[in-house]
Chain A
Amino acid sequence: MPVRVLLFASYAEALGRDEVAFDPADEATIADVLAHLRTLPGADRLPPRPLVAVNARYATVTDAIRSGDEIAIIPPVAGG
């Protein structure tokens, strides 16, 4: 079952979409999600180590992902 990968703001603009589906292998991590994103057009505008979240909580690239997870790639935040 695929995971949803959410893109926001400048990253959504770079890849021309705000969501990507990814079908993770067993024992996949967020690093695998990022590797998949880097195969897509526009991904050269993503930084080497973007902030990431799993199910709306900050995470690290080595964190495992599970079927049904909502992954988010978080551009530099600029609230306020």
Chain B
Amino acid sequence: MRAAIVQRPLDAAALLAEVAAVGHGATTCFVGTVRDTHAGRHVSGMDYSAYEAMALHELNAIVAEAEARFPGAQVVCEHRTGALGLGEASVVIAAAHAHRAPAFDACRFVIEELKQRVPIWKREHYVDGTRAWVDPTAMAPEGSHP
């Protein structure tokens, strides 16, 4: 298991290679990327910031929880901070297991927990020149997830 907060571009292939093993018949990968629209507005980019010591602690705890919850799973996760352009990856999770169901479930577990607990924030820049902090707690429960 491994988790990191980094300031460089993410490499999903490197994370997939990191969890590769001949005993792993299934590897899943989640890549979160900067989208060009949010709540009907045209997005031009995103700034990510973190309370880095705490974010790293929470991310490590989540990855450890995933491996405990799905025994045999091997999980790595990196989250990027700084200024990201459209289509750039902000988070990559790779989860490997002997079988596909725990590999999918471990990967899903990490991204859902990350969104609930890890102290990372993002400020969207819009095509019209304005910007705003993203507040998932202020959004409707369905149809507008970040």
Binding site for B on A (CB under 8 A): 6, 8-10, 13, 53, 56-58, 72, 74-80
Nearest-Cβ distance from residue B94 to partner chain A, whole angstroms: 15
Given known A9-B49, A10-B135, contact A77–B54 (CB-CB < 8 A): no
Q: Which residues of A contact B57 (CB under 8 A)?
A: 56-57
**Chain B interface (Cβ within 8 Å of chain A)?**
32, 48-51, 53-55, 57, 79, 90-91, 111, 114-123, 133-138, 146
Which of A10, A13, A53, A80 interacts with B119 by CB under 8 Å? A53
B121 touches A72 (CB 8 A): no
- Residues from chain B with Cβ under 8 Å of A80 in the complex: 32, 79, 90-91, 111, 114-115, 120, 146
CB-based contact B123/A76 at 8 Å: no
**Contact status A53-B114, CB under 8 Å:** no
30 contacting pairs across A/B (C-beta < 8 A): A6-B51, A8-B49, A8-B51, A8-B121, A9-B121, A9-B123, A10-B133, A10-B135, A13-B133, A53-B54, A56-B53, A56-B57, A57-B54, A57-B57, A58-B117, A72-B119, A74-B119, A76-B136, A76-B138, A77-B117, A78-B122, A78-B136, A79-B55, A79-B79, A79-B91, A79-B118, A79-B119, A79-B120, A80-B79, A80-B111
A78 engages B121 (CB within 8 Å): yes
Contact B121 A77 (CB under 8 A): yes
B24 to chain A, nearest CB (A): 24
- The answer on a CB contact under 8 Å between A78 and B51 is no
Kindly identify which residue among A13, A56, A76 contacts B51, using a CB–CB cutoff of 8 Å.
A56
Interface centre among A9, A10, A56, A74 (most CB of B within 10 A): A9
CB neighbours of B48 from chain A (8 A): 79
Chain A CB within 10 A, most for which of B57, B134, B138: B134
